[in-house]
A and B are shown apart, each in its own frame.
Chain A
Amino acid sequence: MYPSKHKEIVTSLMSGKFITIDDSTFNVLKENKEFYLEFFDKSFGFDLKNTQEFYYLISDETNENTSRDISIFFSILCYELDKDGENFMDKLGFSDFHIDEIVEYISNSTWADVVKVNNQLKDADSIKKLVGSTMVKRNITRKHSDGKYSFTKAYRLFIDFARELIKTETNEAEK
């Protein structure tokens, strides 16, 4: 017998979605982790990854451009939030953002050179599409009423990645 919500879990993960701790399927996935690890590996050759807060699939083929754009997006947003005196960890974890607010942080960023050459960040419409479509589809952002968005715990993947860069750099320098 398959676990409950099996179809929903498989469909979500196969469409590139993150299943986060706030999703109803998270606990089913957690309780049946071994089953799903084997299921995705044996059925499709995909690797099911997880942290304490989210699950996601990876395969040999990665969507590098989208991942890079999202990583740049979070790096800039966090940097600007910090500069603005905000606690970016708390803000990303617990606050809603109006899309105009997000656009403003990115568009007025000091990292203009990085922004202007990026097709997903270069203007307001592109940023709105990245946040409101690409990231919603992957369950990285959630859309609320009145043009507001919040971030799911999946944002941690992209900021932890940046933090790891420094650790890797330090380790390599020490070697």
Chain B
Amino acid sequence: MHFLANHFDLLRQLFDIQVKNEVILKSQVNETLNEFESDVEGQLFEHKVLVEQNDDYVINEPYFVLFEFVLQQFKPLLPEEIEKYGQSIRTLSLNIKEGINNDKNILLDRIEALSNEIKKFKNAVTNNTISLLNESRELKANTRRIEYQEKVQKARYLIEYYIIPLNTILDLNHSQSIYNELLAISQFSNNKRFDYFDESIRRQFEKLYNLLKQVVKDISHQSTILSNELLPLLDRIKTESEYLQGFIYYLTNMNCYKEIKPPMLFNTTRDNPYSPYIYENTKEYFEQFKNEEDVFITEESTDIEQWIFNKSEYKSKLNSMLPVTDFFSWCKKALENEKADFDIDSYFIVTSLIFEVEYDIQRDRDNQSISLKTDHGEFIMPKLKINQRKNVSK
């Protein structure tokens, strides 16, 4: 043990080599010794840690089992290897039941043998669960960076050859499962530990019952790990492998550019600078201006000829005509001579001549009125006679 403790790292490396390659080559033993700068080659054989196998070496079985246990690195057992414990458990159990009243010594030996087989079975199941869990986790995380195909193959292999059969062995609902056999033995030993006539046999049944109580509990725990952790883990690897197979199929041989149609994806026109209706829309836009007449906006001319009253001219005209019997009518005629479309303001400006001091104004004797019709209305005005005032100083 002292030797094992002192050279544990070296021995572990040899163990790892054997786990990986089944055997340890002579050259690998030398390389490992050199790496650890160790000269314990002789002791390795002296303590029978290494034994020869053909031209190579392997770690002696008891040591190998010890390392497996210490390092918790168990090579998973095939279900057939575990099942052999089931067979021997079933056979021993049957023999115990059938020979229950026969020879006491053989009964004791059989109970002891049965206990041993149950212990071995329990260890095998526990170790297998641990190793399968490690392998599955390692595979899941792909710590060895293995290629996809190999990973899928390995996952399938673990599921098919180790995990599903192990699950059957432990399955409570499976009538042939070893777990159910153990429950039956437990029940039987529970009865016999009380009602068997020989005390030493009763004690053996008591021991067997206590062992089974623990074993059933442990196996149930392993079964839980298997269903709650290992199977979902591997199921997930399986799911991932389906996805990866899909990706590989899609990408291989440029399949993605060939006949495989990708998922339907909504086609938006918002981002499309060229709408399928651009021609119609543009045409519609321009057509709304097509038939519109040209509009010319001409500003109203502000250049209106301003009429200026030439008072002296009108006065002289009036003077030459004096006496005038109808002043207002004269004003109209005089203005019409100058400007045919005179406005009413111009007319009244002309009539202001009446206020000139040199004229004498007389109302018509018959009180006649005259009428002047314009756009604005009709003006009724008195008929006035206008003459030169005689006494006006010049």
Tell me whether chain B's interface is mostly helix, strand or loop, or mixed.
helix
A-B CB contact pairs (8 Å), 11 listed: A16-B268, A63-B266, A67-B263, A70-B265, A72-B250, A72-B251, A76-B247, A82-B244, A89-B236, A162-B249, A163-B242
Q: Are B240's CB and A58's CB within 8 A?
A: no
Mark B236-249 against chain A: 1 for CB-CB distance below 8 A, else 0. 10011011111111
Q: Are A75's CB and B250's CB within 8 A?
A: yes
A84 to B239, alpha carbons, bound, how many Å? 18
Q: Are A58's CB and B264's CB within 8 A?
A: yes
Tell me the nearest residue of chain A to B140, going by C-beta: A87
Q: Does A161 contact B (CB under 8 A)?
A: yes
Q: Are A162's CB and B265's CB within 8 A?
A: no
Q: Beyond A113-B254, A165-B249, is A78–B243 a contact (Cβ under 8 Å)?
A: yes
A114 to B140, alpha carbons, bound, how many Å? 27
Q: Does A117 contact B (CB under 8 A)?
A: yes
Interface stretch of the complex, out of B93-101, B141-149, B301-309: B141-149
Mark A97-131 against chain B: 1 for CB-CB distance below 8 A, else 0. 00000000000000101100100000000000000
| Residues in A whose Cβ lies below 8 Å from that of B148 | 79, 82-83
Q: Are B141's CB and A85's CB within 8 A?
A: yes
Indicate which residue in B141, B250, B254 contacts A162 across the interface (CB closer than 8 Å). Answer: B250
Q: Are B264's CB and A78's CB within 8 A?
A: no
Q: Beyond A82-B148, A166-B242, is A76–B251 a contact (Cβ under 8 Å)?
A: yes
Indicate which residue in A13, A46, A63, A79 contacts B248 across the interface (CB closer than 8 Å). Answer: A79
Q: Are A66's CB and B257's CB within 8 A?
A: no
Q: Beyond A64-B262, A85-B141, is A14–B268 a contact (Cβ under 8 Å)?
A: yes
Mark B253-264 against chain A: 1 for CB-CB distance below 8 A, else 0. 010110011111
Q: Are B244's CB and A79's CB within 8 A?
A: yes
Taking beta carbons and an 8 Å cutoff, which residues of B are in contact with A? 140-143, 145, 147-148, 236, 239-240, 242-251, 254, 256-257, 260-268, 270-271
Contact count A vs B, C-beta below 8 Å: 121
| Residues in B whose Cβ lies below 8 Å from that of A56 | 266
Q: Does A174 contact B (CB under 8 A)?
A: no
How many A residues touch the partner, as a band?
Answer: 35 or more
Q: Beyond A16-B266, A89-B240, A158-B263, is A166–B245 a contact (Cβ under 8 Å)?
A: yes
Q: Are B141's CB and A78's CB within 8 A?
A: no
A58 to B147, alpha carbons, bound, how many Å? 37
| Residues in B whose Cβ lies below 8 Å from that of A67 | 262-265
| Residues in B whose Cβ lies below 8 Å from that of A169 | 249
Q: Are A16's CB and B247's CB within 8 A?
A: no
B230 vs chain A, min Cβ distance (A):
17
- By CB atoms of chain A within 10 A, which of B143, B245, B261, B264 has the most? B264
A78 to B247, alpha carbons, bound, how many Å? 8
A87 to B244, alpha carbons, bound, how many Å? 12
Tell me the nearest residue of chain A to B260, going by C-beta: A165
Q: Which residues of A53-84 have CB atoms within 8 Å of chain B's CB atoms?
A: 56-59, 61-64, 66-68, 70-72, 75-76, 78-79, 82-83
Tell me the nearest residue of chain A to B247, going by C-beta: A75
B155 vs chain A, min Cβ distance (A):
12
Q: Beyond A82-B244, A88-B240, A166-B246, is A62–B251 a contact (Cβ under 8 Å)?
A: no
| Residues in B whose Cβ lies below 8 Å from that of A4 | none
Indicate which residue in A15, A89, A157, A158 contacts B268 across the interface (CB closer than 8 Å). Answer: A15
B251 vs chain A, min Cβ distance (A):
5
A72 to B255, alpha carbons, bound, how many Å? 10
A64 to B236, alpha carbons, bound, how many Å? 31
| Residues in B whose Cβ lies below 8 Å from that of A63 | 265-268
Q: Are A163's CB and B246's CB within 8 A?
A: yes
B165 vs chain A, min Cβ distance (A):
25
Q: Which residues of A6-60 have CB atoms within 8 Å of chain B's CB atoms?
A: 13-16, 46, 49, 56-59
B136 vs chain A, min Cβ distance (A):
13
Q: Are A85's CB and B266's CB within 8 A?
A: no
B5 vs chain A, min Cβ distance (A):
35
| Residues in A whose Cβ lies below 8 Å from that of B256 | 68, 71-72, 75, 114
Q: Does A164 contact B (CB under 8 A)?
A: yes
Q: Are A62's CB and B265's CB within 8 A?
A: yes
Tell me the nearest residue of chain A to B249, going by C-beta: A165
State the 3 A-B residue pairs at the shortest beta-carbon distance, nearest first: A162-B246, A67-B262, A67-B265
B247 vs chain A, min Cβ distance (A):
4
Indicate which residue in A64, A88, A111 contacts B261 across the interface (CB closer than 8 Å). Answer: A64
| Residues in A whose Cβ lies below 8 Å from that of B141 | 85, 87
Q: Are A15's CB and B264's CB within 8 A?
A: no
A135 to B240, alpha carbons, bound, how many Å? 24
Q: Are B244's CB and A78's CB within 8 A?
A: yes
Q: Are B257's CB and A117's CB within 8 A?
A: yes
Q: Does A159 contact B (CB under 8 A)?
A: yes
Q: Are A71's CB and B243's CB within 8 A?
A: no
Q: Are A62's CB and B267's CB within 8 A?
A: yes
B14 vs chain A, min Cβ distance (A):
28
| Residues in A whose Cβ lies below 8 Å from that of B143 | 85
